[in-house]
Amino acid sequence: MKRLALALVLLAGQAAAEDQPEAQRVLSLGGSVTEIVYALGEEARLIGRDTTSNWPPEANALPDVGYVRALSPEGVLSVAPDLIIAEDGAGPPEAVAVLQSAGVAFVSVAERYDAEGVLDKVDAVAEALGVPDKGRALHDKLAAELQAALGRAQAVGEPKKVLFVLSLQGGRVMAGGADTAADGIIRLAGAQNAMPGVQGYKPVTDEAVIAAAPDVILMMRRGDEQADADANGGSSHTAAKQAVLAMPALAQTPAGRAGAVVMMDGLKLLGFGPRTGEAAVELHDLIYAGS
Amino acid sequence: MVALSPDLRPGRLQGDRSHRARRLGLFLALLLAVVAVVSLGWGASGTSLARAVSDLLAGRELAVQDRVVLMDIRLPRVLMGIFVGASLAVSGAVMQGLFRNPLADPGIVGVSSGASLGAILAIVLGSTLPAGIAAFFGWYLVPVAAFAGGWLTTMALYRIATRRGRTSVATMLLAGIALGAIMAALSGLVILRANDRELRDLTFWGLGSLAGANWPKLLAGAPIMALALLYAPWLARGLNALALGEAAAGHVGIRVQKVKNRAILTVAAATGAAVAVSGGIGFVGIVVPHLLRLASGPDHRWLLVNSALLGAVTLLLADMVSRTVIAPAELPIGIVTAVMGGPFFLWILLRNRGGLDL
């Protein structure tokens, strides 16, 4: 139902966007979309963002219209956008319908967790902004970075198994399974997901964690830990890492025994935006640091 | 007993309080009118009601954005706030009267847990439905599923608690807890299948919001709520008699079973429709009737009407905070009602500890 509504919204939005390529007040919804607008050098046209858009740091100065899936139509209209570029799934659909009836062009950008997905996003955002030349330049630059990452990934003889841990709430491991951004970036980094049998982000039992036998545990670094790490010259020997290794199930795994816990900034790691090539290389180096 | 002082004679006391309740009702009706108008002119965007009205009076067309903000965003939202607030408060008052328990709320008859399960099913499994069904319901899918879930649960509970034409209020209370647990478990099972986006949708649904208010939703939900609200005052005499206990109520000529049936139906309809269009908004159903009982006594003839008015005012005020405090983003209204209502209610309780034995 939602997908159908969104497809209609998408068609209508694109038609409207083509009518006015010179949109000067752009609202960007979705962390990776905002990153792409900045990477295209079109940030002067941005007049607002959603809660998930917090990179580059300058983006935080823009008015925040709320969570991308729970938009308030009047709040969005109050920043007076003439073009909204949104990641797939922005809504609710009622809100999007009202925005369109107010005459705001709405472009929805598809999300896929692979190298092609990143490049398609760049093309879609550049087209919506009416800057095809800048779009091509960014496309080529990112394609080269992603190609480099793929090159490294393919050079790996025996891919390591990586377990992505979204959270450890209540002592339960919330793992990243198939069809997630975590799965996508692990592949791009030339490793394999230790939980391929799970769909989406799911809590898994301690026994499943031990049976998966990951070589590396991958987690997102929170903001304060990021600052810590920067202060220590990028070292991720933080309290969070100690906490991970203190969990009996995780400590039992090859990753736990070797202390192989990798932490990266969440938006960079999972955003599938302009920093994905860089993130894949960084992750690759962290995973295969010892070998 | 010594001679009562004039003010404490039962008849006089009753008269005083009903007089007070009537004046309170008038005041609340005026307040609602004022708050509704202020609410129409209140929002994150620069659209001003005064300017729009003067434009219209001068025969000028409204700008597209002003028209959309006033007619398609704020007006349905204000009306929705009035209906939902009134429905939640009246449902609370009826339940507390029916169960003779100040802690009763519509959740007890299973409406909330059933409605949540319906909404969760629609949010998580909606995308797996055959395209024809999904297209037929459109964005009504979640509200319709919530309403159906609430209604079915209430009817099931009612059947369980009714033996030989007599509904046991105690059985209903206990079975409601059991059914609630079953619904929560089923919801948990469905949630396991949800992806992270659906999980976020569920969280926001649970916090409640009037942000999704639009004309189609209002036209679907408001008639049900309006019927229940209009019928509620007819329950007043029965609920007053039930305060004496079921047997005594029967002795004074009240058809107890009929009152119980109708009270449950009224609550199921009002709450089911309210939850369906606005998600889970807590607290209004408990706090509003209590404040009114403290202010003007437990007589349902006024309590039900005043609950509707104060419930509507409360929700409109909460919504005004919800849509402006972190503008251009929006705070879910369930958070506002709890954060503002909680401390206020505690303060009232502490001031009136003596008079609280309802």
What are the structural domain ranges in chain B?
24-353
Cβ <8 Å between B69 and A74: yes
Encoded tokens for A237 = 């020997």
ipTM value of the model?
0.71
Compute the nearest-CA separation of B58 from chain A (Å).
23
- The span from the CA of B281 to the CA of A228, in Å, is 40
Contacts of B46 in chain A (CB under 8 A): 78
The number of C-beta contacts closer than 8 angstroms across A and B is: 113
Residue of A nearest to B327 (CA): A75
CATH superfamily of B24-353: ABC transporter involved in vitamin B12 uptake, BtuC (1.10.3470.10)
Which chain A residues touch B if contact means CB-CB below 8 Å?
Answer: 1-5, 48, 51, 63-67, 69-80, 89, 92-95, 97-98, 101-103, 179, 199-202
Pick A63's closest partner by Cβ from B69, B211, B328.
B328
Residue of A nearest to B66 (CA): A102
Q: Cα torsion for B269, B273, B275, B281, to the nearest 10°? A: -90
Instruction: Read off the pTM.
Output: 0.80
Cβ <8 Å between B65 and A103: yes
Cβ <8 Å between A72 and B131: no
Rounded to 5, what percent of chain A is helix, strand, coil?
A: 50, 15, 30
Cβ <8 Å between A94 and B126: no
Q: State the average pLDDT over residues B326-347.
A: 84
**Phi then psi for B352, rounded to 5 degrees?**
-115, 25
Span B274-328, pLDDT tens digits: 988 888 787 888 889 988 998 888 899 999 999 999 999 999 999 999 888 887 8
* B165 burial type by CB count under 10 A (0-12 exposed, 13-18 middle, 19+ buried): exposed
Please give the domain boundaries of chain A with CATH numbers for all domains.
Answer: 2-138 (3.40.50.1980), 157-287 (3.40.50.1980)
A47 near A24, Cβ under 8 Å? no
Residue of A nearest to B67 (CA): A102
User: Which of B39, B48, B72 would you mutate first to test chain A, the one with the most A CBs within 10 A?
Assistant: B72
Tens digits of pLDDT across chain A (291 residues): 555 555 555 554 454 444 445 788 999 999 999 999 999 999 999 999 999 898 899 999 999 999 888 888 888 999 999 999 999 888 888 888 889 888 899 999 999 999 999 999 999 999 999 999 999 999 999 999 999 999 999 988 899 999 999 988 777 888 999 999 999 999 999 999 999 998 888 888 898 999 999 999 999 986 555 555 555 544 545 677 888 888 888 998 999 999 899 999 888 999 999 999 999 999 999 999 865
Cβ <8 Å between B196 and A200: yes
